[in-house]
């Protein structure tokens, strides 16, 4: 019979991989209270330093899935496909993508989360809409998928409950940045939701969780392999997150921009990523459709409105507006804007009230940042690059401090070269 201390020592000293039986015992004993939080935390630290083999990771993820419910979407007439983003600044793609792909004939069970730190949360954004609710029962979710085709909702407490306990430990023990632990956390929930196929948007760059492209590709490959091992067709796009995506960063302001994109007025960068992910999702779902035509015809916008209504929201209601606005970050000279740092903008939006430092913190739905200029735009000396929005003007000072670094913006004499936002396609 295994014991927690022996398993910690095996992984700490990298003696040999843990067996499937040992990992199964560990999760069962942890759920029963026979393995203490401090012992699991010690094991997580050992994994942080020594990793998990592919066999260990498959078993680890399987136990996380088995710790709770697994949704059954097989009764749906439509093929199911989901998307997950590792998080960025101004990343409102899910708001556009779920109804867009659903309008092409897929069922999109988008179980999403809330923002933490400088990255926004899809549920926080949608809760800007009067009446909209994130919490759906499994039956409500499946019914909505069968009628509308798309749902963006909170993951139920029954899906991979072991992940919540492990993530809470990782959050307070400095073990979040472990590729196998990140991969198992994301994929256990996505596999448990019952989707047949999954496309991952793995962000890389200054505003992403993974700053280095090589690490982002490694994470993408790890998650694609886990999906395949658990019977979910999985593909990952590694996309740039050095500059905010689109022009709005916040909650209500991002919903507004997403609706404009569904009306055919999306910014080039936002639509480049959205269309790339949409094409990948439709390909995995076996659907031959043109996402551009779905937006041009108004089908995607109609599906968005139906998706909001089925979750109690009013898609025609005015979105809340911030009481105070201030233009900031003035160009030091005339020229082409070649850099606008995503991390600095994300931190500023967070300090304005759009984000939270802890999961239990409240947020402001109206706070945020608008990018008045983006890299590739010509700006004149003294021109404001950003506009702050907040309910409390006292927040402007701390948000402005987030922009103090000398390389937050760069002005050049030539326009920046056009670079693709999709850097790698893993599993295609």
Residues assigned a catalytic role = 84, 163, 170, 185, 189
**Other Cβ atoms closer than 10 A to 381:** 11
Q: How far is CA 252 from CA 113, 145, 315, 369, in A?
A: 16, 25, 12, 11
CB 148 within 8 A of CB 307: yes
How far apart CA 247 and CA 175 sit, in angstroms, is 33
**Other Cβ atoms closer than 10 A to 158:** 13
CB 87 within 8 A of CB 209: yes
Two tokens, residue 50: 């020594």
Bridge partners of 340, per DSSP, are 409
Residue tagged 């309008």 (tokens): 103
Q: What are phi and psi of 159, to 5 degrees?
A: -90, 120
Residue tagged 């088995």 (tokens): 66
How far apart CA 76 and CA 279 sit, in angstroms, is 21
């Amino acid at each position: 019979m295994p014991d927690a201390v022996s398993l910690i020592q095996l992984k700490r000293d990298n003696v040999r991989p843990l067996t499937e039986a040992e990992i199964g015992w560990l999760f069962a004993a942890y759920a029963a209270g026979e393995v203490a939080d401090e012992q699991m935390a010690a094991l997580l630290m050992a994994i942080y330093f020594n990793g998990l083999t592919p066999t260990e990771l498959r078993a680890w993820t399987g136990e996380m899935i088995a710790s709770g419910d697994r949704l059954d979407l097989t009764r749906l007439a439509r093929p199911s496909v989901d998307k997950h983003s590792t998080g960025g600044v101004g990343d409102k793609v899910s708001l556009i993508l779920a109804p867009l792909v659903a309008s092409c004939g897929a069922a999109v069970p988008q179980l999403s989360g809330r923002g933490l730190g400088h990255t926004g949360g899809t549920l926080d954004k949608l809760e800007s809409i009067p009446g909209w609710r994130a919490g759906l029962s499994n039956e409500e979710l499946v019914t909505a998928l069968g009628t509308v085709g798309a749902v963006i909702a909170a993951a139920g407490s029954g899906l991979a409950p072991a992940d919540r306990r492990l993530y809470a430990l990782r959050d307070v023990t400095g073990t979040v940045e472990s590729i196998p632990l990140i991969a198992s956390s994301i994929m256990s929930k996505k596999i448990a939701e019952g989707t047949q196929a999954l496309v991952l948007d793995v962000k890389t760059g200054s505003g992403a969780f993974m700053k280095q492209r090589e690490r982002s590709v490694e994470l993408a490959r790890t998650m694609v392999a886990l999906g395949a091992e658990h019977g979910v067709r999985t593909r990952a796009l590694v996309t740039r997150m050095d500059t905010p995506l689109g022009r709005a960063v916040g909650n209500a302001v991002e919903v507004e921009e997403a609706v404009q994109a569904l009306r055919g007025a999306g910014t080039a960068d936002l639509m480049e990523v959205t269309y790339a992910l949409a094409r990948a999702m439709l390909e995995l779902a076996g659907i031959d459709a043109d996402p551009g035509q779905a937006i041009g015809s108004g089908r995607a916008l109609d599906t968005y409105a139906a998706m909001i209504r089925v979750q109690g929201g009013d898609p025609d209601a005015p979105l809340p507006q911030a009481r105070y606005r201030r233009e900031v970050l003035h160009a030091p000279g005339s020229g082409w804007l070649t850099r606008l740092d995503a991390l600095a903008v994300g931190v500023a939006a967070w300090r304005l009230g759009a984000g939270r430092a802890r999961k239990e913190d409240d947020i402001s739905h109206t706070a945020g940042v608008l990018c008045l200029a983006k890299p590739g735009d010509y700006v004149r000396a003294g021109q404001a690059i950003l506009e702050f929005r907040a309910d409390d003007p006292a927040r402007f000072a701390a948000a402005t401090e987030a922009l103090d670094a000398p390389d937050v913006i760069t002005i050049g004499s030539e326009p920046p070269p056009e670079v693709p936002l999709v850097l790698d396609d893993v599993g295609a």
